[in-house]
Structure 1
Amino acid sequence: MPTLFDDPLHQLPRPPRRVAAGVVHLPNFLGLAEQKALVAQARDLAREVVGTPLAMVRPKLKSGQMSVHMLHLGKYWASNPYRYVDVVDGFPVPPLPDSFVDLAHRALLSAGSLSNSLQSWSEAYRAEAALVNYYSPDASMGMHQDANEESEAPVISLSIGDTGIFRLGGTLNRNKPWTDIPLMSGDLIVFGGANRQAFHGIPSIEANTAPAGCGLKEGRINITIRQLAL
């Protein structure tokens, strides 16, 4: 497993930046110790729901089975009809950990320094649900919108493990132009404002790029935090 200094990409300056209106990328937002603690916490949460309808599995869609494993916290995104629910087949959805709520507020305070549209949410934001997604080295996620929430509050996304390519598109369709952003272990990306409904995806994972000490030997964990209600 590489260290942060083995990969030339990790040696390039990566300052915080505003990628587009309402979209901010903060490299190295999480230190290695916090990454490792979050991975351990995610594993514990996943173990608690093994064998239940809330288990961390690869969801099956009409188009086929996803390559990403998903764990729902706070709320569960159900189908038929599509909606957020608190209970699935008699099993309550695990609550959103306080550590995730704290992370969300820290993220917005930091991202808000680069975007006025994000700064306006720094005090009012209510973290209500999270997805913990595990990407194996060959997993990916197609272009999609996060358009199922009543609120237009920003989406907060944290990366741990192998580098994932975050592809940001427009708000109207999945077509080009795209902006590809390598999200390395510990990186944060927040999107809201004019690009809250932007299409986005993860076309690829760069295998063997997880730094030693992050808690993952391979693959990538993505923690996405949302406010649902107005």
Structure 2
Amino acid sequence: MRGGGVFVGELFGREREEPAPGVVLLPGWLGAERQRELVAACREWARPPAGMRSVLLPGGGTMSVRTVCLGWHWYPYGYARTVLDGDGAPVKPFPERLGALARRAVAEAYGERVGEVAGAAGFAPDVALVNHYPHGARMGLHQDREERVDAPVVSLSLGDECVFRLGNAEGRGRPWTDLRLCGGDLLVFGGENRYAYHGVVRTLPGTADPELGLTGRLNITVRQSGLG
């Protein structure tokens, strides 16, 4: 929905959407088995050392989501090889199977236009952030600006549905578009909207597939850092 009203695409069912240039939503892209595999993998990645943590923001607040990083450790607002704002352990390696999945995601999202989107044709992901949204968690509008290349961002949703707010690259104000993201959905954003502000307004408790055994929402964001 755009600032109110029904969700974009809801009148006609959940089909492929391109809510803004360079932004592609593929509903149900992950099948049930792959979703279960990823949830199990997230549980392993969340274990210490270098496990899931609450992120302390520079202003003194704490993010309501909990995060574990793979490949590179993200902290506000940079990358490191160790969990310097946590237990200090080396970050867990970036799984090649996740990289292969993300490359396929970009290829399928852009199709024949992949060569027209900056960094899409040679997409080489090397970092992932796994965010767990317990009931009541949200994420304010922000940009993903710590990377040194303009390659697309791949976002995979698991568990509870959420209201995802896609803003613009100029600031946190309007215009924005609210999208419904469900378990199994793929969202890719790149091109002129690679640096669009975005966030999660709210999650919808109890909407996850019960077979996942997951409380809340998991979001796996895969990026190319450009750090070498």
> Structure 2 length normalisation: TM-score?
0.87
Indicate conservation of the 8 Å contact 1:162/1:206, yes or no. Answer: yes
C-alpha separation in 2, matches of 1:119 and 1:172:
20
Which residue is 1:6 aligned to?
A: none
Q: Which whole-Å deviations, capped at 9, do the CAs of 1:46-84 have from their partners, x for residues lacking one?
A: 12x2xx4x33122111241110000010001245xx431
Q: How does 1:42-191 map to 2 (within 5 A)?
A: 42-47=42-47, 49=48, 52=49, 54-61=50-57, 62-78=59-75, 82-88=77-83, 91-113=89-111, 116=114, 121-191=119-189
C-alpha separation in 1, matches of 2:210 and 2:89:
36
Given the superposition, is the C-alpha separation of residues 85 and 138 from structure 1 closer, same or farther in structure 2, using an over 3 Å criterion? same
Percent sequence identity over aligned pairs: 42
Given the superposition, is the C-alpha separation of residues 175 and 115 from structure 1 closer, same or farther in structure 2, using an over 3 Å criterion? farther
Paired letter, 1:184: C
Equivalent residues, number: 215
Paired letter, 1:84: Y
C-alpha separation in 1, matches of 2:44 and 2:217:
17
Paired letter, 2:40: A
Alignment gaps of 5+ in structure 2: 1-8
Q: For 1:218, which of 206, 215, 218 is the aligned residue?
A: 215
Indicate conservation of the 8 Å contact 2:56/2:62, yes or no. Answer: yes
Paired letter, 2:15: P
Indicate conservation of the 8 Å contact 1:68/1:136, yes or no. Answer: yes
Paired letter, 1:60: L
Shift of 1:194: 0.3
Q: For 2:201, which of 203, 206, 217 is the aligned residue?
A: 203
Tell me whether 61-70 or 135-144 shows the greater mean CA deviation: 61-70
Paired letter, 1:224: T
Paired letter, 1:222: N
Q: Which whole-Å deviations, capped at 9, do the CAs of 1:9-64 have from their partners, x for residues lacking one?
A: 999621112111000000001001100000001101112x2xx4x33122111241
Given the superposition, is the C-alpha separation of residues 173 and 122 from structure 1 closer, same or farther in structure 2, using an over 3 Å criterion? closer
Indicate conservation of the 8 Å contact 1:18/1:115, yes or no. Answer: no
Given the superposition, is the C-alpha separation of residues 110 and 119 from structure 1 closer, same or farther in structure 2, using an over 3 Å criterion? farther
Given the superposition, is the C-alpha separation of residues 39 and 126 from structure 1 closer, same or farther in structure 2, using an over 3 Å criterion? same
Given the superposition, is the C-alpha separation of residues 216 and 164 from structure 1 closer, same or farther in structure 2, using an over 3 Å criterion? farther
Q: Which whole-Å deviations, capped at 9, do the CAs of 1:67-120 have from their partners, x for residues lacking one?
A: 0000010001245xx431112455211001122111111101110128556766
Q: Could you say what secondary structure the match of 1:39 adopts?
A: helix
Alignment gaps of 5+ in structure 1: 1-8
C-alpha separation in 2, matches of 1:184 and 1:209:
8
C-alpha separation in 2, matches of 1:75 and 1:58:
17
Indicate conservation of the 8 Å contact 2:114/2:121, yes or no. Answer: no
Indicate conservation of the 8 Å contact 1:111/1:118, yes or no. Answer: no
